[in-house]
Amino acid sequence: MLSYLRKRIISSALPLLVVIVGVFALARLTGNPASLYLPLNATEQMRADFTARHGLDQPLLVQMADYFGGVLQLDFGTSLRTGESAATMALRAFPATLQLAATTMVLAILLAVIVGSWAALKPNGIADRISSFVSMAAASIPDFWLAIVGIWIFAITLGWVPTSGVTGAAAWVLPIGTLVMRPFGALVQVVRGAMVSALSEPYIKLARSKGASQTRVVTHHALRNASAPALTVAGDLTVGLVNGAVVVETIFGWPGIGKLMIDSILQRDFAVLQACVLLTAVAIFVLNIVIDLLYALLDPRVRPASAVSRARKARPAPAPVETAPANA
Amino acid sequence: MTSTAETSAGRTAACPVVLRVEGLDVDIRTPAGTVRAVSNAGFEARAGQTLALLGESGCGKSMTAKAVAGLLDPVAHVAGGSAELEGRDLLRMTPKQRRKVAGAELGIVFQDALTALNPVYPVGVQLGEAFRIHHGASAARAREQAVQLMRRVGIPEPESRVNAYPHQFSGGMRQRILIAMAVALSPRLLIADEPTTALDVTVQAQIMDLLRSLREEGDMAVVLITHDLAVVAEEADDVVVMYAGTVAEQGPVGQVFANPRHPYTKGLLESVPVDAERGSSLASIPGSPPELKNIPAGCVYQDRCPLAQAVCRQERPVLREVAPGRRAACHFSDSLATASTLEEIQP
Amino acid sequence: MTALLDRTVADRPAALEVRDVVKTFHVSRSASGNNRLRALDGINLSVGRGETLGLVGESGCGKSTLARTLMLLEKPDSGSVTFDGQDPFSLKGKDLLSWRRRVQMVFQDPFASLNARMTAGDIISEPWATHRGLHRTSREREARLAELLQLVGLRASDARKSPQEFSGGQRQRIGIARALALNPELIILDEPVSALDLSVQAQVLNLLNDLQQQLGVSYIFISHDLSVVRHVTDRVAVMYLGRIIETGTTEDVFERPLHPYTAALMSASPKLDPAARPAERIVLKGELPSPLDPPSGCRFRTRCWKAQDICAAEAPRKRTAAEAGRTVLPMPALRRPGLPVEHLAECHFPLAVPAGPDAARE
Amino acid sequence: SVANSDNAAGAGAAASDTLRVVLQQEPPTLEPCEANLTSTGVVDRSTVTEPLVERNPTSGELEPKLATGWKATGDKEWTFTLREGVTFHDGSGFTAEDAAATIERAVNSDLGCNVEGYVFGDDDLEVQAVNDTTLKVTTKQPDPILPLRISFLEVVPAETSATEKVREPVGTGPYQLESWDAGQKITLAAYDGYWGEKPAYAKAEYQWRSEGSVRAAMVTSGEADIAMGLSPEDNIGELGVPYPNNETVALRMHNDKAPFTDIRVRQAVNYAIDKESIVASLYGGRDKAAAQLVPAGVVGHNESLQPWPFDLEKAKQLVAEAKADGVDTSAQISLIVRTAQFPKIQELGQVIQEQLTQAGLNVKLKMLETSQHLKYQVRPFVEDEGALLHMTQHGNQAGDAAFTVDQYMLTDGAQSAFGTPELDAMIKKANAATGDGRQQAFEEIFAHQNEDVVQFAHIAHQTGMIGKAAGVDYTPNSSSGDELRLAEIKPAQ
Amino acid sequence: MSQTIQDLPGTGPAPQTGPGAGARPDAKSNNPGLFRMLLRDKFASAGAVILLLVLLTAAFGPMLMGDLATRQNLLFANKAPFNPANGWEYFLGSDSLGRSVLARLVVATRTTLAVAVPAVAVAMVIGSLWGVWAGYHRGWRENVSMRVADVIMSFPSLLLAVVVLYVFSPSAANIVLILALTRIPIYLRTARAESAELQSRTFVDAARTFGARPNAIIRRHVIPVVTPTILTLATLEFCYVMLAESSLSFLGIGIQPPDASWGLLVSQGRQYLQTAWWLSIFPGLAIVITAISANMLAAWLRIATDPAQRWRLALPGRRKLIVRLKAKESK
Ligand SMILES: Nc1ncnc2c1ncn2[C@@H]1O[C@H](COP(=O)(O)OP(=O)(O)OP(=O)(O)O)[C@@H](O)[C@H]1O
Ligand SMILES: Nc1ncnc2c1ncn2[C@@H]1O[C@H](COP(=O)(O)OP(=O)(O)OP(=O)(O)O)[C@@H](O)[C@H]1O
Ligand SMILES: [Mg+2]
Ligand SMILES: [Mg+2]
């Protein structure tokens, strides 16, 4: 376990660093923020002062060194826009996104498992056709459009839920209802596919030969085996959500990291952007570890102790996180 | 364990029939239409005895077994016939009735031992499942039973291995676990579909030993499916030789092997490289079995049979009694009985 | 028998020599913390021209690894392989290609070794895409293809079919035809018939036999079906956990096994003929130990009924039949330098008498 | 349903004493010296903080706030008399010291306040607190509109840091900042010690949503009382209240590249745009076709100027004439438009592109985000781009044309593409003028631009719209978008 | 089991329809044409037809529409659809500038495809070739490639979009570039996984034993096997890319007017949802219908190109799965 973690950290640290450096450089490619923050008729002198005050006149490498020096001392810089600590802003926005992402994924997985299993019981049956139709439609509706229609119908016309905001449980309905569509659609397909193949595995027949009922066969024997591919895709989808559900956050006024990120891009608020990226990259890193652990929990074959038997198969088991997602 | 013709014939009469299959037809839907994978199969398995289903790959052995156990793939279905387990027709049971029988009275060991176990549950849980389903045992009780079962099939240190996962066992051990699962509730009938094909000879010997002792212990009827003539010769009392979905010949093993009444059986026996000299050419059956969708009218073996005559192309030979306790489906089975080589029979 | 051996072995030097080949795989750590799996642990072999060497042993003992190493699909950690005096591992470019031509392989699984998306003709002629010099014009290639198809008993029209449309035996023939496409001198056959039905097996064995007679190729024949090995080979090597524990002529090994493991193997294999069955069968206890943690000393000791303390302490050295207390029939034709056709076994307590009732179950 | 009843109950309870406002965006800061930023000012100005002098948006007159009176006490000197009995939210009393410190902080420090450049130019001011209630301000040059400029400064206590900006201000206004849930809402509470009339609502709550339709929906569904910055499409229905917002949309033509080098082409642009149709169709007839950069109500607005008539034939003819004289009228013109700057801007851009194309010009529409757009909006302009046609939205918050012409018409004005010496001279004169002369002078400038300079093609004086719940009584005015005076909002009778 | 079933005689893909076809199949007819198999699947055929229509619209539609898509008429703005009195041009209504919604939809089809198709194609070609290469060679090449994929995956794609679209211009080409770049890892991972698995297959070993070079093996054995999977994936990605493009439009950094894409039309139409629903519903429907069609086709393609599953498609019409035997007649 420890050696696994160590390996994992080493193999992920470099990409993490590359991401940060890339963001750092790319952000600065978007131009000097001086004109955004100075009065329209600011003089050259004022611009130069501003640029110098924020160290933007230094060569990129120096700026980067400064930044990483600061990061090592847990100083992530201050926001140009609000003057607050960038880390504070990112940390404040992140829980909102996380809550949204977690609820969405739990719901999406739950629904997808039910619908996908149901569809898989009779491949190409009527239930299968309906569920594939519904899930494909769910996955292909532009989310912003769905959000606005949702507000129109459920908040204005029916008045069941508030239009937006974060106060009260009812306020979660629309954002999550919007967000859940795409993961749900994608997962139904994956779950269905995995269930179809799990249900045709020999161990299903074995279970039936012991007199197990259909329900037991599905919930007990097939589902857990079908969970690995679904987990891979769910992981990728969660990464997308953790990176911020910009559109939904924008529309519903959800104070999340996606909105903060896009705002800081638009405002050239580099420190905040970097803090956000750093935070989400670390979160994604943790997420991947969690997914690895889940794999091991769900499937004993990928647990470290299985070395011997795997050796007999002569082929190293592929690292689960690197397997391809079915469709995102 | 050696069973000679004499002893088995004697025993056969004494043992009650556990499974009686009659006129079993199994159809498969294929792109080319519905084809008959098993046609008019019939045999009897007796308590305390081993009946071998012998035949080449694809001849319908597993299909027959799965039809009896009610576990056919979705593309296949039983089209006719009956399979009576101690008098009750398995093929006409409701799913619910069948679930009651499954595991409790009829155990089955599947062909692909290495994949048949559910990879995500400890073997103990899987072994105990039958007790939970049929006896409503608690998890702890089921586990205890599982330990006992593992001990019974000769798995060392069952207490510690009961929590291990299938992949942590070798092929032979997994096969033992499957067998243990099938005999958990001491069924009357055990169907073992190629239980040793994937295993080494030394392990095969162990497994065969185990099956034999379990059979004797529980007075079970065992249906052993295999394509290994030598295994049949050593393990079975009776043999059913199948070819292209039909039964070619059946009878006590000793008699059938000593004196085959169907040219296919004869051909098989001759292609075993047993006494042949190093480098000498083996007698082999030319060609390959017909595809299911192209089963010829008349005798299914006609294309490969050295004896084939006009009558073979027109008329499918019925399985008929050719000697006491022996049946064969060949127009020339009587001439085969007397001829020592196939050539002699040429009319 | 002697005449046959004369023809195949007697007057030719060894074509292939394998000396002390060791191959280790790195795998994930086992329970005991080991992550180096010694699949081959000092293999010595030689194959003569026109000879068939049988390689038997339980699953996982390293037969395929040896075959793959000989085909340069794995690189041995140490030891040497020479074919006709050349070490293939030192070859590059053209030399390597021409070496490749001379040694070919037929794979264990006729289903997996053919690309399902190619036609039989494409599969058989695929080697020529690499060895362009062999048949320069497409006419030549077509002619040769037809010839090969005929040689392995397929119809010319079969060239256009894809592998799925063939039966198992026919697929194995395609595999053999592909191996023959380069006119090799040695063919390694990795369980060429174990996936086949009895009636088809006979066809393939006959084919292999005919080819050897016509073309004079050498075979290394890997199998765990003893009756088949006995039928086709001149000499046999028995492997156990990465080592060759017994070698000798087929007859010696089958009739008069020295090593207890060989004896158990012979005894365990079912016999069709009731008369050939041992009165009491040796049923081995326990399982094949994990190759990751092989037993100390003699590897077989955990399952051996003759094991004593020394077996755990010390790896056994090779002993000849004579050392085991056997009377050896003089077979002068076989006593050629460089050809270890003596009957050898690695055991502290080789069986003095051919295994019988007394040897079984302690 | 449960949600429904919850919601209704919540709405009912809140409506009684909390005023809920939904803005377009979260204020980046509430720093008072940044109050001329719309999103900051809309919360701060005259609500949390107050200036010395306040301009009445309707009449354009200056009115006393924290100063009760002011007068020019010299050529370059103004004296303010300050109100007594005013306390800050922290309880401290307001004195001239505070006022002086406020000016020092905003104008003379290195804080880099937005208001500094915007309102005061480069020169520093000299301030002096004569006594607790008297403040003296001296300028480098004579400045007739200094009190107007001072009206942009929100007063903060003298203790406020002059080196760091503050996010959460302490002011003298009717409401004080109670809490700021970053990302979610800002809550204000009525300040008990307020010197003036007590506001009608005990609390105020600001939220923000960037989608106009969502803001509108919040008012219709009873989640908010006031929604800012709506557009006609936001489906606010009866609850939408339009108001003239002082913003004017115009096209600025850069004369440095063909075809705008020729005044005839610039005139053609003016003729080619059908302003009346645009106003009628895109803006529901609420906007007014414009003839100059400032709307009525701003000092200097020239009532007699008429919008250029829509005359496509004339436009074509002018282009043809220019072409005949060797002007490259087929040169590509980039129409620079800022994404989402105001409602329907995208449509407006497309209409203008289409209409200019009809007139025979080669126009390419370029939609840019703010930061990019700035490169075209203010000097130094993007160079290597071909002819530029820049869509400008100008809002004169101050009510004096000086703020417009300095920026937009001087040869080196920050947002002026070019000018003429004549115009520069006229502007200089106008800036120094007072009274009717001042009005006169600016009127002439606007007329001159349309006749002889033609840097701009004016499109429309805009109308803003807010959403207002039925339970609220408020009449928006031209400054509502920049400063929403909560104290003026009352529950409906 | 499916493996063996496939390999057993009589269950391979077979041409004859209808039961009782007796003749021995010849080599050719044993692989029923993809096209005929497609025709058998109603849903997939419908999907294919719709996609074809979309393609034809993109190819020839703009030509037929002339300047209809740009012709403004401010006095004829926001006219409701399905009113025959307005003429066929306005069958789907008019937009806020009085342009024909139908014409704009048609023109947008081309832009949409002009973004989605090259984006998918570029990502697919680069990603899958790279993945195949990495998976075949394994070792450091594989590791480095996977780390690069990680980087791209956890990179905020929005930032990339904003940078490229702001620093350079929001042109269709740049949108293609970004969408392609950010989607490369999807193909990379899939192709790598498949190729890593394939390189350990026996037939690849066989090719090695005759000394074939890695590139030749990749060409001959790996790419043909990976291609169907990749194509299926690409079909799904096509939907994703369309949606991503619409999200960019929503954020104002997608296709810019006066160009139009479906995503942009939905995005622009959203504010008229309650006053002129047709502005956003029709382009939205176009996205959804195209996406569903592509999905249907992909689902079919996935099975049709898999030799081990193809037989499923060729099965004759559905029957009752379990034929219950009639109670035995009395003996
Ligand atoms: N690439 C590899 N990586 C790790 N271990 C391997 C590899 N290839 C083979 N092994 C291990 O080496 C040992 C020998 O394997 P090999 O395939 O040679 O056995 P075999 O005798 O051919 O068995 P079988 O009869 O099942 O084909 C086994 O324990 C196997 O697990
Ligand atoms: N699911 C299936 N779909 C289509 N055909 C099938 C299916 N299962 C079996 N078959 C066909 O039914 C026939 C009988 O198959 P069965 O599995 O009974 O053979 P078997 O005798 O057990 O062969 P083996 O020795 O290979 O196990 C074969 O020809 C096979 O092709
Ligand atoms: Mg079978
Ligand atoms: Mg092997």
Reported confidence tier of residue E218, pLDDT bands at 50, 70, 90 = very high
The DSSP line for A133-186 is: HHHHHHHHS-HHHHHHHHIIIIIIIS--S-SS-SSSTHHHHHHHHHHHHHHHHH
Amino acid at B137: A
Please tell me if the CB atom of residue B18 comes closer than 6 angstroms to any atom of ligand 2.
Answer: no
Tokens 């294929």: give the residue.
B30
Cα separation, D247 vs C301, in Å, equals: 97
Q: Is the pLDDT of residue E28 over 70?
A: no
Rounded average pLDDT over D139-151: 85
Tell me which of B206 and B341 has the higher pLDDT. Answer: B206
Q: Could you tell me how many helices (H) and strands (E) chain B has, helices first?
A: 14, 12
Task: Say whether residue E84 is in contact with chain C using an 8 A CB cutoff.
Answer: no
Interface chains of chain A (3 or more CB pairs under 8 Å): B, C, D, E
**Closest ligand relative to B242 C-alpha:** 2
Residues in chain B: 347
Per-domain boundaries in chain A: 96-258
Please tell me if the CB atom of residue A311 comes closer than 6 angstroms to any atom of ligand 1.
Answer: yes
Q: Is the pLDDT of residue E130 over 90?
A: yes
Residues in chain A: 328
Cα separation, B242 vs A15, in Å, equals: 61
Q: Do D277 and E258 touch (CB under 8 A)?
A: no
Q: Whose CA is nearest to atom 16 of ligand 1?
A: C62
Please tell me if the CB atom of residue B28 comes closer than 6 angstroms to any atom of ligand 2.
Answer: yes
Q: Is the pLDDT of residue D289 over 70?
A: yes
Give the residues across from D338 on adjacent strands: D368
Q: For the ranges A251-260, B324-333, D7-16, which has the lowest average pLDDT?
A: D7-16
Q: For the ranges A46-60, D451-465, E105-119, E131-145, which has the lowest average pLDDT?
A: A46-60
Task: Say whether residue A36 is in contact with chain D using an 8 A CB cutoff.
Answer: yes
Reported confidence tier of residue E308, pLDDT bands at 50, 70, 90 = low
Instruction: Retrieve residue A212's tokens.
Output: 């197990």
Nearest CA in chain B to E325: B92
| β-strand pairing of D332-338 with D362-368 | parallel
Cα separation, C208 vs C186, in Å, equals: 12
Mutation test residue for ligand 1: of C64, C193, C240, the one with most atoms within 8 Å of CB: C64
Inter-residue contact E311 to E75 (CB < 8 Å): no
Inter-residue contact D432 to D442 (CB < 8 Å): no
Mutation test residue for ligand 1: of C21, C25, C38, C55, the one with most atoms within 8 Å of CB: C25
| Out of E202, E210, E224, closest to residue C109 by CB | E202
List, in sequence order, the alpha helices (H) in D251-397. 263-272, 275-277, 312-324, 345-358, 370-377
Please tell me if the CB atom of residue C291 comes closer than 6 angstroms to any atom of ligand 1.
Answer: yes
Please tell me if the CB atom of residue C40 comes closer than 6 angstroms to any atom of ligand 1.
Answer: no
Per-domain boundaries in chain B: 261-344
Q: For the ranges B49-58, B134-143, C104-113, which has the lowest average pLDDT?
A: C104-113
CA distance B79 to chain C (A): 27
**Ligand 2 center from residue B64 Cα (angstroms):** 9
Per-residue pLDDT reduced to its tens digit, C78-90: 999 998 888 888 8
Q: Per mean pLDDT, which of A78-82, D323-327, E244-248 is the most reliable?
A: D323-327
CA distance D476 to chain A (A): 25
Task: Say whether residue B205 is in contact with chain C using an 8 A CB cutoff.
Answer: yes
Rounded average pLDDT over B31-36: 79
**Ligand 4 center from residue C145 Cα (angstroms):** 29
| Out of D217, D407, D414, closest to residue A163 by CB | D217
CA distance A288 to chain C (A): 21
Instruction: Retrieve residue E102's tokens.
Output: 């139908």
Cα separation, C293 vs D428, in Å, equals: 97
Tell me which of D118 and E76 has the higher pLDDT. Answer: E76
Reported confidence tier of residue E95, pLDDT bands at 50, 70, 90 = confident
Architecture of domain A96-258 in this structure = Orthogonal Bundle (1.10)
For B112-131, the three-class secondary structure string (H helix, E strand, C coil) is: CHHHHCCCCCCHHHHHHHHH
Nearest CA in chain E to D341: E252
Q: Is the pLDDT of residue B287 over 60?
A: yes
Give the residues across from B77 on adjacent strands: B27
Cα separation, D250 vs D392, in Å, equals: 5
Tell me which of C199 and E52 has the higher pLDDT. Answer: E52
Q: Is the pLDDT of residue B135 over 50?
A: yes
pLDDT for residue C3: 35
Nearest CA in chain A to D221: A156
Tell me which of A262 and B239 has the higher pLDDT. Answer: B239
Task: Say whether residue C293 is in contact with chain B using an 8 A CB cutoff.
Answer: no
pLDDT for residue D291: 92
Task: Say whether residue A306 is in contact with chain C using an 8 A CB cutoff.
Answer: yes
All residues of chain E having their beta carbon less than 8 Å from the beta carbon of residue A148 are: 270, 273
How many C-beta neighbours within 10 Å does residue B274 have?
Answer: 18
pLDDT for residue E21: 31
Instruction: Retrieve residue D49's tokens.
Output: 């903080």
Report percent pLDDT > 70 for chain D.
96
Query: Cα D309 to the chain's mean position, in Å?
Result: 27
Please tell me if the CB atom of residue B314 comes closer than 6 angstroms to any atom of ligand 2.
Answer: no
Per-residue pLDDT reduced to its tens digit, D213-243: 889 889 988 889 999 988 877 878 888 898 8
Please tell me if the CB atom of residue A210 comes closer than 6 angstroms to any atom of ligand 1.
Answer: no
Ligand 1, residue C291: give the atom nearest the CA: 29
Cα separation, A27 vs A264, in Å, equals: 10
Query: Which of C275, C259, C253 has the alpha carbon at shortest distance from C343?
Result: C253
**A291: phi then psi, degrees, rounded to nearest 5:** -65, -40
Cα separation, D119 vs D36, in Å, equals: 9
Q: Is the pLDDT of residue B341 over 70?
A: no
* pLDDT < 70 positions in chain A: 1-2, 41, 244, 302-328
A-C interface: how many C-beta pairs under 8 angstroms? Answer: 28
| β-strand pairing of B320-323 with B326-328 | antiparallel
CA distance B338 to chain E (A): 35
Task: Say whether residue E224 is in contact with chain B using an 8 A CB cutoff.
Answer: no
**D88: phi then psi, degrees, rounded to nearest 5:** -80, 170
The CATH number of domain E47-330 is 1.10.3720.10: yes
pLDDT for residue D449: 92
Reported confidence tier of residue E87, pLDDT bands at 50, 70, 90 = confident
Radius of gyration in angstroms for the set of CA atoms belonging to chain D, rounded to a whole number: 24
| Out of E8, E22, E327, closest to residue B58 by CB | E8
Q: Is the pLDDT of residue B1 over 70?
A: no
Buried b (16+ CB within 10 A) or exposed e, D78-110: bbbbbbeebebbeeeebbbbbbbbbbbbbbbbe
The DSSP letter of residue C284 is -
Per-residue pLDDT reduced to its tens digit, D416-432: 999 999 999 999 999 88
Tokens 């060239």: give the residue.
C159
pLDDT for residue A306: 36
Rounded average pLDDT over E2-14: 33
Rounded average pLDDT over B174-184: 88
How many C-beta neighbours within 10 Å does residue E323 have?
Answer: 13
pLDDT for residue A157: 84
Interface chains of chain B (3 or more CB pairs under 8 Å): A, C, E
**Closest ligand relative to B61 C-alpha:** 2
Chains C and D, touching by 3 or more CB pairs within 8 angstroms: no
With an 8 Å Cβ cutoff, the interface of chain B facing chain A consists of 66, 69, 71, 73, 99-104, 107-108, 110, 112, 115-122, 126, 129-130, 133-134, 165, 167-168, 178, 181-182
Query: Which of D13, D40, D20, D44 has the alpha carbon at shortest distance from D474?
Result: D20
pLDDT for residue C274: 78
Reported confidence tier of residue C329, pLDDT bands at 50, 70, 90 = low
Please report the domains of chain C, with CATH numbers, ordered by start residue. 1-233 (3.40.50.300), 258-362 (no CATH)
For D403-450, the three-class secondary structure string (H helix, E strand, C coil) is: HHHHHHCCCCCCCCCCCCHHHHHHHHHHHHCCHHHHHHHHHHHHHHHH
Q: What share of chain C is helix, strand, coil (3-state, %, to 5)?
A: 35, 20, 45
Rounded average pLDDT over D242-257: 90
Please tell me if the CB atom of residue C38 comes closer than 6 angstroms to any atom of ligand 1.
Answer: no
Coil vs helix vs strand at D182: coil
pLDDT for residue E314: 58
Q: What is the ipTM of this complex?
A: 0.81
pLDDT for residue B339: 66
**Ligand 1 center from residue C243 Cα (angstroms):** 13
pLDDT for residue D118: 66
